[in-house]
Structures are given as structure tokens and as C-alpha cells.
């Protein structure tokens, strides 16, 4: 399956997906990377790996629908069958989401449905959580609310800071995003009736 990754920044999850896809048996191929930030470090990294990259900055468009139309155009021009959001820091409209329903997935740094939105590591520490983690889910119109595909948990240690906990979660993200994409690309996970259904997993 042909995959396009949407990023806004560093792109470490994008890198993990690219690395995984180099395996001959991996069911997905990363064909391109699109960023809404022209100076995203991840764009340079993707270029250096020979992938096609496009920057589609919001500032180049008069309104959100025009910007999203340009994003759709870039995605379709690349021939994407699956879209992976990886640190793409922009809320997508219901129309955009509907167009790619069941084919667009996101990684979020918490065990959803806990801690939707931003500052998840800080909020997990403040809440006194002893476990935290990361979730890959289908993207629906509800922010961080789509059906879960895969999760990984990590411990919250007594002296953790936002940074130390964040680093532990990020490591888990790099392991689980490629696994979740493989499930989707191979058809072993699919979104049906607002839920994830699994098949062919023994």
C-alpha cells in the first residue's frame, strides 16, 4: 500500500515508519511526506532519504477550505492509499476526514481516551498516573476520538519529568506506529461502523 505521511515538525515517527518500510515483508511503502510547515526538520530528513516532499503552508491560502483543498490535491497527486498523521499539528475538517475515512490514521502520545489534546505527559504526571503511553487510531471528525488500532503503555516513574516521560513514550511510539500501519495496510485492521475490526490475527 502506498502511504503519505503528514508532519509539522521533527518527524521522528515518520522516520520510524520509513525505517520499517525498508523491510521486504513490510506491507506498506512510504512514498511521500507533506508538511504544513515549510521549515519542518522532518521534511529535510525525508528529502535526504529520496522521498518526494511537499510543503503546503497555511499562510499560502486565504482560508482553511482552500488550504485543505491543496492538502487533498498533494495527497492525491502522490497517489496515497493510506495517510499517516505523525505530529501533524492541525485540526482537520469533517469534510477532509470523511474523504479519507478508514484510510487515515494518527499517533497520539497518551492512552486514549485519556488525555486528548496537548501537553499529555505533563497532564499524566499531574493526574498521578502510574502508567501512560501512546495510541494509534483512525482519524474521525472528533479530535483524538477515532477508534483505537493499537496502544503501548509505559510506566510513570516517581521522579519522571515531562521530558523523561515524554522520551519513554516516544520510544514506544516508534515501535507501535509501524506495527499499527502494518495492520491497516495488510487489511488485518479495518474501520467498520465506527469501530476497529481485526482479522487474520492468530
> What residues act catalytically?
108
Quick count: other Cβ atoms within 10 Å of Cβ 23? Answer: 10
Is 191 annotated to bind a ligand? Reply is no
CB nearer to ligand GRF: pick between 2 and 90:
90
Measured between its terminal Cα atoms, the distance across the chain in Å is 22
Return the number of the residue (7 or 46) whose C-beta is nearest ligand GRF.
7
CB of 141 to ligand GRF, least distance (A): 18
DSSP code of residue 29: E
Q: How many residues does the chain have?
A: 202
- Look up cell 477550505; give the residue: 65
CA 177 from centre of chain: 8
Taking the C-alpha atoms of residue 25 and residue 136, their distance in angstroms, rounded to an integer, is: 21
Q: Cβ of residue 42: shortest distance to ligand GRF, in angstroms?
A: 6
Binding site for ligand GRF (CB under 6 A): 7, 9-14, 42, 86-87, 107-109, 170, 173
Asked whether residue 12 is marked as a ligand-binding residue, the answer is yes
Closer residue to ligand GRF in complex, CB, 155/187? 155
| Chain-centroid distance, C-alpha 119 | 17
Binding residues for (6R)-10-formyltetrahydrofolate: 64, 89-92, 106
The annotation places the binding site at: 11-13, 64, 89-92, 106
Amino acid at each position: 500500500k502506498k502511504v503519505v505521511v503528514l508532519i509539522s515538525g521533527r518527524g521522528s515517527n515518520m522516520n520510524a515508519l520509513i525505517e520499517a518500510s525498508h523491510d521486504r515483508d513490510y506491507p506498506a511503502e512510504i512514498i511521500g511526506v507533506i508538511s504544513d510547515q515549510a521549515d519542518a526538520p522532518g521534511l529535510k530528513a525525508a528529502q535526504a532519504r529520496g522521498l518526494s516532499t511537499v510543503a503546503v503552508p497555511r499562510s499560502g491560502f486565504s482560508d482553511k477550505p482552500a488550504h485543505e483543498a491543496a492538502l487533498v490535491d498533494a495527497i492525491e497527486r502522490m497517489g496515497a492509499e493510506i495517510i499517516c498523521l505523525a505530529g501533524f499539528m492541525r485540526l482537520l475538517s469533517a469534510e477532509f476526514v470523511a474523504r479519507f475515512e478508514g484510510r487515515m490514521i494518527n499517533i497520539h502520545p497518551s492512552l486514549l481516551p485519556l488525555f486528548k489534546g496537548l501537553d499529555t505527559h505533563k497532564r499524566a504526571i499531574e493526574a498521578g498516573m502510574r502508567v501512560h503511553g501512546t495510541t494509534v487510531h483512525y482519524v474521525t471528525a472528533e479530535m483524538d476520538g477515532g477508534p483505537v488500532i493499537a496502544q503501548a503503555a509505559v510506566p510513570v516513574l516517581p521522579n519522571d519529568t515531562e521530558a523523561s516521560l515524554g522520551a519513554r513514550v516516544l520510544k514506544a511510539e516508534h515501535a507501535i506506529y509501524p506495527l499499527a500501519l502494518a495492520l491497516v495496510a495488510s487489511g488485518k485492521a479495518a474501520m467498520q461502523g465506527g469501530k476497529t475490526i481485526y482479522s487474520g490475527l492468530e
